[in-house]
């Protein structure tokens, strides 16, 4: 009992000391001459810098007091920090004021869900304003749950005035135990909602999982993603698009769902094959995306098409690596055929049991991209034309994979205006609206450009 009393006493003393330090620090900082902040900026900007730094200090102190490990994700801050001596100890707003009026932090859902209520109350009791943003839990939507569950996604924290600096707090969720996901922040519009320019999470994002490390920035101990450079490299390529579960429900309602044992077995084996392909290409650093029928299944019904016989993925030819074949075969995937050559209409196919994995290589032109096809034993060449596209992350069969961001135009190019209607009989040489003849391989090249293995 006496020991417990001593511990409580020490805890109260520690909290009291922290509060005194906070009050003292902020008081001293407020009295600093503006010239000590950013000597080359105007008085208004210096005032904003000072207010932002005070806000960051108050916020970080509250985080420490509640044991909430928020971490810096503001790209400008992270870029500036890694470009200088990481041990530099600045006591002014050198890094946190890179974006002038806003700084973005992240927090993992696992560190947030049991502490957010008390933490938010503490912020408000300290005189800060907090705006909370929520949206439907994508996990509940994808599971076709009847009840709506909303999750917190973003917070804007400030000192009251519309023009004051803000802290943007982004909640990162773990999806399928393999990657982090955050939603896009959707801000209210109108003259009554003047908000500084948001610099992070304009779109939903997906990231490799990371651990946290501590660093001293502008005199404050803060958390950062452990591999800051890798995190920054992912930021411009992090855009995530959710499968349209409403469209998938319409498709199932109109055409039904194949729940036969054969379809379930195919789906299970398809996931295993796609997962193995993902592991191989991720290890090689080769970007790929869902293509052809696999992309159609994701876009139309958030699933694999049960009557298909293969998995289709696309790769830009510029990302090709010579050890792709060896890497797949070392993982137990047998090379089935090689069509074309690296400079023209290249295509690889691997076999895993009864399911085939097709790798289509795409060539970029000025106003379009294309991949080729070869008719074995005849030598006829075909070309499939697509509008140019960028790549986004999504999820299929609980795997994080890429799809063309402009998915609908990609699907329409390959399957036409009736893409929503299932077609069991598909002729790869005639059915696609974007296919066109592309000549014939010279007979002297047949041995090289049409390799088929038993």
Domain edge (last residue) among 237, 256, 282: 237
Instruction: Say how far apart CA 113 and CA 416 lie, in whole Å.
Output: 45
Instruction: Please indicate, yes or no, whether residues 51 and 196 belong to a single structural domain of this protein.
Output: yes
Is 413 inside any structural domain?
A: yes
Task: Say if residue 19's pLDDT is above 50.
Answer: no
Residues 312 and 189 in one domain: no
Inform me whether the pLDDT recorded for 381 exceeds 60. yes
Confidence of residue 4 (pLDDT cuts 50, 70, 90): very low
21 within a domain of the structure (yes/no)? no
Mean pLDDT over residues 399-403, rounded? 97
Q: State mean pLDDT over 384-390.
A: 98
Q: State the total domains in the chain.
A: 2
Which of 5-9, 138-142, 236-240 shows the lowest mean pLDDT across its residues? 5-9
**Domain annotation covers residue 23:** no
Burial of 167 (0-12, 13-18, 19+ CB in 10 A): buried
181 and 98 share one domain: yes
Mean of pLDDT values over 50-72: 90
Q: Do 258 and 128 fall within a single domain?
A: no
Specify if 230 maps to a domain.
Answer: yes
Distance CA(124)–CA(5), nearest Å, equals 30
Tell me whether residue 359 is in a domain: yes
The answer on pLDDT for 137 being more than 50 is yes
pLDDT single digits (tens) 210-230: 999 999 998 899 999 999 999
| Closest CA relative to residue 241, chosen from 404, 374, 101 | 404
pLDDT of residue 170: 97
Mean pLDDT of 156-181: 87
Q: Is residue 10 part of a domain?
A: no
Considering only residues 80 and 141, tell me which one the structure prediction assigns the higher pLDDT: 80
φ, ψ of residue 331 to 5 degrees: the values are -100, 15
Looking at residue 142, its pLDDT comes to: 58
Last residue of a domain, one of 202, 237, 272: 237
A 10 A CB-CB count for 7 gives 10
**209 and 269 co-located in one domain:** no
Check whether residue 334 and residue 440 sit in a common domain.
yes
Could you give the CA distance from residue 117 to residue 121 in angstroms, rounded to a whole number? 6
The pTM of this model reads 0.86
In a shared domain, residues 265 and 388: yes
Contact 93, 53 (CB under 8 A): yes
* Residue at 439 is within a domain: yes
pLDDT for position 186: 86
In this predicted structure, which of 23-32, 253-262, 291-300, 396-405 has the lowest mean pLDDT? 23-32
Question: And the tokens for 305?
Answer: 């098409």
Instruction: Assess whether 280 and 228 both reside in one domain.
Output: no
Q: Looking at residues 182-197, what average pLDDT do you find?
A: 72
d(CA 348, CA 338): 5
Q: The domain that contains 386 carries what CATH number?
A: 3.30.460
Residue 130: give the domain boundaries.
32-237
Rounded distance between C-alpha atoms, residue 134 and residue 78, angstroms: 27
Q: What is the Cα–Cα distance from 315 to 320, expressed in whole angstroms?
A: 7
Is the same domain home to 259 and 307? yes
Region class of 167: left (phi > 0), else alpha (psi between -120 and 50), else beta: beta
Instruction: Choose the final residue of a domain: 194, 217, 237.
Output: 237
Q: Compute CA distances 120 → 133, 183, 216, 329, whole Å.
A: 13, 20, 25, 53
Strand, helix or coil at 158? Answer: strand
What average pLDDT does range 75-103 have in this prediction? Answer: 76
CA pair distance 346, 351, nearest whole angstrom: 17
C-alpha to C-alpha distances, 306 to 141, 260, 303, nearest whole angstrom: 22, 9, 8
Averaged pLDDT, 412-436: 93
Q: Are residues 205 and 280 in the same domain?
A: no
In a domain, 7, yes or no: no
- 399 with 360, same domain? yes
Give 362-379 pLDDT, tens digit per residue: 999 999 999 999 999 999
Looking at the fold, whether 88 and 209 belong to one and the same domain comes out as: yes
How sure is the predictor about 40, in pLDDT bands with cuts at 50, 70 and 90?
A: very low
> What span, in angstroms and rounded, lies between the C-alpha atoms of 340 and 363?
13
Range in 44-58, 385-399, 412-426 the model is least confident about: 44-58
């Amino acid at each position: 009992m006496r020991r417990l009393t001593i511990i409580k006493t020490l805890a109260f003393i520690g909290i009291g000391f922290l509060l005194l330090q906070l009050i003292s620090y902020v008081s001293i900082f407020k009295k600093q001459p503006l010239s000590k902040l950013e000597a080359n900026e105007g008085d208004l900007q210096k005032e904003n810098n000072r207010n932002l730094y005070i806000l960051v200090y108050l916020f970080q102190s509250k985080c420490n007091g509640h044991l909430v490990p928020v971490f810096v994700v503001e790209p400008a801050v992270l870029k500036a920090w890694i470009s200088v001596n990481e041990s530099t100890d600045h006591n002014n707003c050198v890094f946190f004021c890179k974006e002038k009026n806003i700084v973005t932090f992240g927090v993992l859902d696992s560190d947030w869900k049991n502490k957010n209520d008390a933490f938010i109350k503490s912020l408000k009791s300290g005189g800060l304003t907090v705006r909370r943003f929520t949206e439907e839990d994508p996990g509940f939507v994808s599971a076709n749950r009847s009840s709506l569950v909303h999750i917190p996604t973003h917070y804007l924290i400030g000192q009251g005035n519309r023009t004051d600096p803000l802290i943007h707090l982004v909640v990162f969720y773990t999806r399928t135990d393999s990657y982090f996901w955050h939603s896009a922040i959707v801000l209210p519009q109108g003259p009554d909602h003047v908000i500084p320019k948001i610099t992070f999470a304009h779109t939903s994002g997906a990231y490799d999982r990371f651990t946290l490390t501590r660093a001293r920035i502008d005199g404050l101990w803060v958390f950062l993603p452990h591999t800051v450079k890798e995190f920054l490299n992912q930021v411009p390529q992090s855009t995530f698009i959710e499968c349209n579960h409403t469209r998938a429900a319409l498709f199932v309602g109109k055409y039904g769902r194949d729940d036969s044992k054969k379809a379930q077995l195919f789906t299970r084996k398809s996931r295993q094959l796609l997962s193995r392909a993902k592991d191989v290409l991720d290890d090689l650093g080769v970007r790929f995306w869902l293509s052809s029928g696999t992309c159609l299944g994701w876009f139309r019904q958030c699933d694999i098409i049960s009557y298909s016989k293969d998995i289709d993925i696309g790769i830009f030819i510029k990302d090709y690596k010579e050890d792709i074949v060896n890497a797949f075969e070392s993982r137990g995937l047998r090379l089935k055929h090689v069509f074309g050559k690296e400079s023209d209409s290249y295509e690889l196919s691997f076999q895993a049991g009864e399911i085939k994995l097709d790798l289509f290589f795409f060539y970029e032109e000025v106003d379009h991209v294309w991949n080729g096809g070869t008719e074995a034993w005849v030598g006829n060449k075909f070309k499939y034309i697509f509008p140019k596209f960028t790549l986004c992350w999504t999820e299929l069969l609980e795997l994080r994979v890429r799809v063309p961001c402009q998915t609908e135009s990609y699907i329409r190019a390959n399957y036409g205006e009736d893409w929503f209607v299932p077609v069991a009989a598909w002729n790869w040489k005639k059915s696609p609206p974007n296919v066109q003849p592309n000549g014939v391989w010279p007979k002297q090249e047949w041995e090289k450009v049409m390799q088929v293995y038993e």
